[in-house]
Amino acid sequence: MANGLPAREAQVLAATQRPLTSIALAQKSGVPAWKTIPSWAVIGTADHAIPPAELLTMARQAHAHITMAAGAPHLSMIYDPSLVTRVILKAVKGTA
């Protein structure tokens, strides 16, 4: 998940990651927010956790504004925080 990040940073992320709670697998989520709220997606082209093609398919299904993060791993917000910040700011302006 942290491919492309410095080894030390990846070690800290691995050591501080909390396990998934079982309720996340059993609780019903209701109507997906993307059906009624505009969506934005940042897709790392070097994601090894979820293949970028799958992420792109999901983003297109949600009619998201898609930004491809060249060379970014799954943790694109850490790999390229300035790109992710720009996308967040576009989302803020796009929903204001």
Query: Among residues 11, 13, 8, 24, which one has the least CA distance to residue 77?
Result: 13
Residue 67 pairs in a beta bridge with 42
Query: Among residues 45, 35, 33, 56, which one has the least CA distance to residue 79?
Result: 45
pLDDT higher than 90, residue 96? no
- Sequence ranges of the domains in the chain: 7-95
| Predicted pLDDT at 79 | 94
Rounded Cα gap, residues 13 and 74, in angstroms: 13
pTM: 0.81
Report pLDDT digits (tens) over 8-57. Answer: 998 998 899 888 888 888 888 889 988 999 999 999 999 999 999 999 99
